[in-house]
Amino acid sequence: MRFLSSLPGFHRWSFYLALSSCLWISAANAQGSYRIATEGSYPPWSFKDAQGTLQGWDVDIAKALCEKMKANCEIVAQDWDGIIPGLVARKYDMIVASMAITPQRRERVAFSAKYKDTISRFVARKGAPADVSPAALKGKTIGVQRGSVQAAYLAQNYRSADVKLYDTPQAAELDLVAGRVEYILGNMVTYHVGFLKTPEARDFAFAGPELKGGILGEGNGIAVRKDDGQTLARINAALEAIRADGTYDRITAKYFPFKLM
């Protein structure tokens, strides 16, 4: 530090200010910036408003996590069937899209702690039999979103049914109303606050029991690349923080009249 001591007082002060500024910028950059993928066509979890801006529960959760991490974040929409390949290909850094945690997905990505529960249910025309077992639905047409855990569940257990795959849940719902499928299978909460609240669904209701666990997942988690343990640790700490300070419950209450965990 002999160099500094040889400088006049004013110049020493200017040097310290510049050094402090550089250290502050370095610390700010160390907080990180992240690109986050969500689906964007799955209300109320993620969707685009009339201006094309991403909205929804997952979007708000992602923003809250970024605030806790003091990170600059960009949230982008990604079609569901390409969302994990995009993460692996480093197109973004994490997936905040109500993704079910399953053993198959754990082979490709790492998951945060669970940030909500997942329950799946069939929807059918009112008056349909309560029995929705594989034997009861033999030969029936069932609509489901392509690449979802519900699609995997049907592929594993309902091989005698006619399973039709759709790019979005809404496309399956439209075909149910039109009579092109007899049942649809998806997220119970999504149906409860979405499809079943619409005038088009007045003749439809849940059929059969609540389904969860196994291939349907252990709840929902935030996905990151397997080699990104640092980001995973930051996400888990931020999740714990938004649960502790009430942010998580406030976001949930904005969309749902019940808790998700």
* 10-residue mean pLDDT series, the chain (261 residues): 45 43 36 92 95 98 98 97 97 97 95 95 96 98 96 97 96 98 96 95 96 91 97 98 98 92 86
Do the first three CATH levels of 35-115+227-255 and 120-216 match, i.e. the same topology? yes
CA dihedral sign of residues 157, 161, 167, 171: negative
- The secondary structure of residue 219, as a DSSP letter, is S
Fold of the domain spanning 35-115+227-255:
D-Maltodextrin-Binding Protein; domain 2 (3.40.190)
Fold of the domain spanning 120-216:
D-Maltodextrin-Binding Protein; domain 2 (3.40.190)
Angle between helices 57-69 and 247-255 (to 10 degrees): 160
Peptide bond into 44 cis (omega under 30): yes
Q: Where are the domains of the chain?
A: 35-115+227-255, 120-216
pLDDT at residue number 222: 98
pLDDT at residue number 261: 86
- Whole-structure pTM value: 0.76
DSSP-assigned beta bridge partners for residue 76: 37
Q: Which two tokens stand for residue 218?
A: 């252990």
